[in-house]
Structure 1
Amino acid sequence: MYSPTHFRALSRVRALTRGQQMWRAVLAFALCAGLLLPALHLAPVHAQSGPNRQLAVGDIVTAPLNADTFSQTYTLSASTGDTITLEVSTETADLNPVLTVIDQRGNRIAQDADLNTPTAATLTDISIPSSGTFFITVARGSGAEGSASGQFTLRVSGFQQIGGQTVTLDQGGIAFELAWTAAVDLNLEVRDPVGGTVHTYSPGSPSGGTLDADANTNCENLADEPSEVISWPAGQVPAGSYEVIIYYIDGCEVNGPQVFDLTTTVNDATPQSISGTLNPGQSYISRLVVNPDGGWTLNNGGVNAGLFTVSLFQNQINSAEPMALGSTVTGVLSNASPARAYSFQGTSGTAINIALEAESGSLDTFVALLGPDNTVLATNDDSGDSTNSGIERTLVADGTYTIIATRYGLNIGGTEGEYLLTLRSLEVAADLSAGDQGATETTEATGFEDTGFGDTGFGPEVTEQLTLTQGSIEVKLTWDTNADLQLQVRDPGGETVFDDNPISQSGGVLEADGNVACLETTETPTSYIYWPPNRLPNGVYEVEIWFQSACDDIRNVNFDLEVNVQGQTIIRPASQSISPGARYMITFRIGADGTTTVGTGGFFDMDNPNTLLDFDVLLAPESAIPIAYNDAVSGSITTEQPYVIYSFEGQQGDIISIAMQAQGGTLDPALYLVSSEGILLEGNDDIDTQGENRDSAIQEYPLGFTDTYYIIATHYGLIYGGTEGTYALTLIQE
Structure 2
Amino acid sequence: MLSERLIRCAGRDSPSAPISDKLIGCTRPCVLEEDFDLEERLLISRMWLVLALSIAAICISVGVAVAQESVPRRLRLGESVTGTLSPQTFAQVYTFEVPSGAAVTLTAVSGTPELTLALVLTDANGQPLAQNANLSGAEVSLSNLTLPSGIYYVTVLRSSGAQGTAAGQFTLTLSTGVLAPPTAVPTLAPITLNSMSVALSWATIDDLDLEVRDPVGNSVFFNNVAAGGATLVANVNNGCTNTVSNPTETIRWAPGRVPAGSYEILVYYNRACRQPPQPVDFTVTVTVNGRAQPPIQGRLNLDEQYVASFILESADAVSLQPGGANPLLLNLTPFAAQISAPRPLGNQTRIRGRIDRNNQVDVWSFEGAAGQVINIAMDAVDGGSLDPQLILLGPDRAVLASNDDANSETRNALIANQILPVNGTYLIVATRFGKNIGGTEGNYELTLSGTGALIAAPTAASPLGTPIAAPTESAAGVGLAGLPVGALNISLTWNNRADVRLLIRDPENRSLFSDNRTVPSGGILARQDNLNCTNPTSAPITYAVWQADRLLTGTYEVQVWLRNLCGETLLPTYALNVNVRGQSVLSVQEQPDLNGRLYVTTFTINADGTVSAGQGAIFFNQALRDIGDVRDRAEVAEALIYGRPIAGNIDSTNPFTVYTFQAQAGDRVRISMRATRGTLDPALYLLDPSGLQLAFNDDAAPNDRNAQIDAVIAANGRYTLIATRFGALTGGTAGSFEIAVVPIR
Question: Is the structural similarity TM-score above 0.5?
Answer: no
TM-score (norm 1): 0.42
Instruction: Indicate the structure (1 or 2) with the bigger Cα radius of gyration.
Output: 2
TM-score (norm 2): 0.41
Q: Which has the higher contact order (CA 8 A, sep 6+)?
A: 1
